[in-house]
């Protein structure tokens, strides 16, 4: 398969990759802070207070420090990586860092701009966690001499405005799917330590428990405001579920080496992650995507094929290349629209929302 990941060969490449927005790369968000300030979480007060006590307990405060063997292990394993795997791994580090830092920036901005004590305190805890996550990834990039200038990224990357409800749907999903992705990788490498090609994966279990808890926070906010989960909003939930799942599928298939090096087959891995995420979202969403519908799987592949052809057009350049890119982008959008109309599974919400990370 053709490797379509843009190469990262210098610190300038790494920083450019982090700052550039494409439809598949992580973005930075801003929102309506007054509306955030008015959120009421009283209907879930008991669950909320229990969750805040967990944040305060901060059981990961000492987790994001490298141990004595980290640097040596990273260097020895890097020497054994194929150039393709190295590129995909660097791409993975840069996009993961961008997405962790995106959370950090958004949560910090909300914290600074609201007075609502519940929301302010939550955002402070989540920004604390994401800042540790981003810093931890950046230290691995620095091993390669490819550290990202986070201050510069914060100043120069474009921000996308999302209404609070879109922030809740999108961020809830990205936290939960982030958990599912990391735990699936951690379990695989636990069974096959010989396939662990970088020490960072040893940190994933406790790391993804932070992401799980971040997702819990948004689940409680939505459960406390059930109008977000009814009527026309169900169509938005459906849209965000599909957008998040489809983006992940295309990205993972664009960099198949990474999963293959871990002994994971990308399609199987993605469907495991969808399955875990579907299970988790039963805590809050009134519908689930039917990932076992034959049209769902077939269209995931079509979407990936369209994105490959669009990339090839882009790489070819010129008027003809541009036309090819435009054609396949429209074709991809049409596939996405067809997927939107695959029947969904309806879900009756449980009495209490909280879940434990049991995967």
Which residues form the interface with Fe ion (CB under 5 A)?
Answer: 100, 130, 133, 175, 211, 214
Q: Both tokens of residue 328?
A: 């396949």
Report yes or no: 148 and 15 within 8 Å, Cβ to Cβ.
yes
Closest CB to Fe ion among 17 and 214? 214
Residue the block writes with tokens 């080496």: 257
CB 30, min distance to Fe ion, A: 18
Q: What are the residues facing 7 on neighbouring strands?
A: none
Closest CB to Fe ion among 202 and 214? 214
Residue 90: phi and psi, rounded to 5, are -65, -40
Closest CB to Fe ion among 173 and 288? 173
Round to whole Å and give the CA distance between 51 and 184.
Answer: 24
Q: Both tokens of residue 276?
A: 């875990």
Q: Does the CA dihedral 140-153-240-225 come out positive or negative? A: positive
What is the DSSP secondary-structure string of 306-323? HHHHHHHHHHH-HHHHHH
Instruction: Name the burial class of residue 193, with classes exposed (0-12), middle (13-18) and buried (19+) by CB atoms within 10 angstroms of its CB.
Output: exposed
Round to whole Å and give the CA distance between 316 and 130.
Answer: 38
CB 356, min distance to Fe ion, A: 17
Closest CB to Fe ion among 18 and 306? 18
If you count them, how many residues does the chain have? Answer: 359
Q: Both tokens of residue 128?
A: 């604390």
Round to whole Å and give the CA distance between 344 and 170.
Answer: 18
Report yes or no: 312 and 253 within 8 Å, Cβ to Cβ.
no
Closest CB to Fe ion among 47 and 130? 130
CB 271, min distance to Fe ion, A: 23
Closest CB to Fe ion among 87 and 138? 138
Q: Both tokens of residue 249?
A: 């599928």
Closest CB to Fe ion among 91 and 175? 175
**Coil, strand or helix at 149:** coil
Report yes or no: 149 and 71 within 8 Å, Cβ to Cβ.
no
Q: 20 in the Ramachandran plot: left (φ > 0), alpha (ψ -120 to 50) or beta?
A: beta
Round to whole Å and give the CA distance between 264 and 355.
Answer: 27
Closest CB to Fe ion among 130 and 311? 130
Round to whole Å and give the CA distance between 170 and 99.
Answer: 12
Round to whole Å and give the CA distance between 240 and 229.
Answer: 13
Closest CB to Fe ion among 196 and 214? 214
CB 10, min distance to Fe ion, A: 26
């Amino acid at each position: 398969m053709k490797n379509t990941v843009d190469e990262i060969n210098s610190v300038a490449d790494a920083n450019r990759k982090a700052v550039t927005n494409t439809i598949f790369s992580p973005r930075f968000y801003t929102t309506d802070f007054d509306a955030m300030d008015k959120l009421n979480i009283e209907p879930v007060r008991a669950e909320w207070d229990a969750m805040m006590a967990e944040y305060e307990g901060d059981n990961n405060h000492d987790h994001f420090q490298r141990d004595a063997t980290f640097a040596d292990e990273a260097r020895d394993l890097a020497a054994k990586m194929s150039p393709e795997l190295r590129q995909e791994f660097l791409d993975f580090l840069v996009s993961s860092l961008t997405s962790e830092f995106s959370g950090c920036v958004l949560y910090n901005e909300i914290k600074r701009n609201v007075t609502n004590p519940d929301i302010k305190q939550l955002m402070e805890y989540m920004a604390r966690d994401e800042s540790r996550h981003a810093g931890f990834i950046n230290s691995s990039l620095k091993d390669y001499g490819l550290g990202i200038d986070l201050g510069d990224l914060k100043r120069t990357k474009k921000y996308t405005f999302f209404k609070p409800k879109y922030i809740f749907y999108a961020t809830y999903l990205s936290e939960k799917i982030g958990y599912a992705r990391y735990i699936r990788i951690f379990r695989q490498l636990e069974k096959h330590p010989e396939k662990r090609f970088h020490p960072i994966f040893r940190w994933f279990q406790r790391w993804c428990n932070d992401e799980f808890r971040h997702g819990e926070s948004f689940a409680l906010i939505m459960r406390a405001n059930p109008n977000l989960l009814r009527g026309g909003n169900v169509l938005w939930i459906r849209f965000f579920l599909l957008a998040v799942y489809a983006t992940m599928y295309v990205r993972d298939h664009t960099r198949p080496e990474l999963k293959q090096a871990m002994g994971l087959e990308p399609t199987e891995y993605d469907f495991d992650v969808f399955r875990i995420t579907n299970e988790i979202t039963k805590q809050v969403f009134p519908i689930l995507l039917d990932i076992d519908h034959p049209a769902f799987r077939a269209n995931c592949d079509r979407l990936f094929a369209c994105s490959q052809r669009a990339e090839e057009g882009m790489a070819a350049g010129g008027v003809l290349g541009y036309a090819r890119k435009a054609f396949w982008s429209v074709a991809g959008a049409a596939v996405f629209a067809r997927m939107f109309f695959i029947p969904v599974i309806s879900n009756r919400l449980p009495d209490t929302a909280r879940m434990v990370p049991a995967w």
